[in-house]
Amino acid sequence: MAFRFFLTIVLFSITALGHMEMTFPPPFRSSDNPFAKAAQKIDYSMTSPLSGPAQFPCKGYLTDLTSAVGAPVVTWTQGSSVNFTLGGSAVHGGGSCQAAISNDAGKSFFVIHTYQGGCPLAPGSFQLDIPSDTPTGNVVFAWLWYNNIGNREIYMNCASVTIASGSGTAPKTAFSARPDLFVANLANGCTTVETTDVLIPNPGPDVTTGGTAKSQAASGTCSPVNGIGGRTSGSTGSTGSEASGNSSSVAPAASRSTSSVVSIQIIPTSSASPSGFITSATAVAPSSQLSSATSIAPSSQSTGSSTSGLTPTIDGQCSGSQTCAGQSIYGQCCSQWGFCGVTDAHCGTGCMAAFGVCGINGTSSTGAVRARYVRRFRN
């Protein structure tokens, strides 16, 4: 009897401490959130995945925005570089994450950074930039995670944040043109594939590629959940990729090139810095193969842009009147979903040669982008 009781306690502890959660900025209902603590509204299962569509987005806690419990916990400035921190004990082999901002109380989200693979490989801090044209005022910052190993789940924590007016270089992609969150594993027609880092079809212009696991597109056709996940472009215009409606079709078995390498650099930091690691994409050779998060050098290679009337993409989308050729930001291949990039999913099956080039990723291994993991320690 005593042994059973002990085993129950152990299993409960593993469940309670398992998985991962965002610890900074402190999310709604987090034990790290001073406003939630003051109101005694604490969710002690913050590391748990969403139980279903009813908890999407933000575990169903956006109602806190109407009271003091949902007050902003941090102020970020337009154009600044910031960190968010993940804690927990079970990374489930990493996976893929997205960071997004909502300026309409969670009715819509705009992705500001995608971590394609290797997210997270350990507890720690992840770096991202706040676009210089992010709407000012109180917003919702969201972290979303699809784990590599384990049940097909979706994890999401959200925090109330204030965006202050700042300065910075005007982004090449307007905030309103940034992609919607990728939504899967919520009985919405598509699921991620176990033991792979899900390949997010429209990651946006800011991407960090990491990890060594195989990447693969989700299986099925993803439908929006509670109005989120179906926007294929921003409010500034539309492309031919929107003609198929609000569902997002994902290609089967598209794998990322295995030429990416993880390097580790250990550096000292001040005690004010968060412990953990910061990921960033670093180019190791000039090539048209660089990821969509990295500038690529002009190339004399044919781009397949002979079709008249096309202009280089300004928002990472292709088809219609826009081509991936002739620009060095998003990648030269136009995927079957109408987005520019350099992964196998962009350059391989379904690649639209009329709006860029195809087959690059399968014919060259130079110019890979390495994900640099910087391990940081407290002094």
Q: What is the pLDDT of residues 251-260, one digit of tens each?
A: 333 333 333 3
CB-based burial, 197-217: b 16+ in 10 Å, e otherwise: bbbbbbbbbbbbbbbebbbbb
Per-residue pLDDT averaged across 154-181, rounded?
95
3-state secondary structure 99-151: EEEECCCCCCCEEEEEEECCCCCCCEEEEEECCCCCCCEEEEEEEEEEECCCC
pLDDT at 203: 96
Per-residue pLDDT averaged across 9-20, rounded?
47
Lowest mean per-residue pLDDT among 26-35, 100-109, 160-169, 267-276:
267-276
Share of the chain above pLDDT 70, in %: 69
Q: Which residue has the higher pLDDT, 122 or 204?
A: 204
248, 116, 80, 102: which is closest to 175 by C-alpha?
102
Q: Which amino acid is at 270?
A: S
Q: How far apart are CA 337 and CA 315, in angstroms?
A: 14
Checking if the pLDDT of 270 tops 70, the result is no
Q: DSSP string covering 243-288, please?
A: GG-S-EE--SS----TT--EEEEEEE--TTSPSEEEEEEEE-S-ST
pLDDT at 180: 98
Checking if the pLDDT of 11 tops 60, the result is no
Q: DSSP string covering 45-73, please?
A: TTTSPP-SGGGTTGGG-GGGGGSGGG---
* pLDDT tens string 295-326: 333 333 333 334 457 888 876 777 777 888 88
Place of tokens 């969670």: 106
243 Rama sector, left if φ>0, alpha if ψ -120 to 50, beta otherwise: alpha
pLDDT at 178: 97
pLDDT at 143: 97
Place of tokens 């996976």: 95
* Whether the Cβ atoms of residue 138 and residue 162 lie closer than 8 Å to each other: yes
177, 150, 156: which is closest to 99 by C-alpha?
156
Structural domains in the chain plus CATH codes? 21-249 (2.70.50.70)
Q: What is the residue-averaged pLDDT of the chain?
A: 74
Q: Which residue has the higher pLDDT, 225 or 328?
A: 225
Share of the chain above pLDDT 90, in %: 47
**3-state SS assignment for residue 349:** coil
Per-residue pLDDT averaged across 238-267, rounded?
33
Lowest mean per-residue pLDDT among 144-153, 159-168, 190-199, 351-360:
351-360
* pLDDT tens string 62-100: 999 999 999 999 999 999 999 999 988 778 788 999 999
Do the strands 74-77 and 155-164 form a parallel or antiparallel pair, or are they unpaired? parallel
Tell me the two tokens of residue 284: 């190791």
Band the pLDDT of 137: cuts 50, 70, 90.
very high
Place of tokens 């009715």: 107
Q: How far apart are CA 33 and CA 331, in angstroms?
A: 40
Bridge partners (DSSP) of residue 231 are none
CA distances from 159 to 62, 271, 280 (A): 9, 24, 23
Per-residue pLDDT averaged across 185-208, rounded?
95
Do the strands 155-164 and 340-341 form a parallel or antiparallel pair, or are they unpaired? unpaired
pLDDT at 375: 33
Q: How far apart are CA 333 and CA 351, in angstroms?
A: 7
* Whether the Cβ atoms of residue 337 and residue 248 lie closer than 8 Å to each other: yes
**3-state SS assignment for residue 33:** coil
Band the pLDDT of 107: cuts 50, 70, 90.
very high
- Per DSSP, 311 falls in state E
Q: What is the CA radius of gyration of the chain?
A: 21
* pLDDT tens string 279-300: 333 333 333 333 333 333 333 3
Per-residue pLDDT averaged across 33-41, rounded?
94
Tell me the two tokens of residue 176: 């309103």
Checking if the pLDDT of 331 tops 70, the result is yes
Give, rounded to a whole angstrom, the gap between the first and last alpha carbons of the chain: 46
- Residue 101 makes CB contacts below 8 A (sequence gap 6+) with 109, 110, 112, 134, 139, 140, 141, 142, 161, 163
* Cα 53 versus chain centre, distance: 19
Checking if the pLDDT of 26 tops 90, the result is yes
Q: How far apart are CA 376 and CA 277, in angstroms?
A: 6
Band the pLDDT of 335: cuts 50, 70, 90.
confident
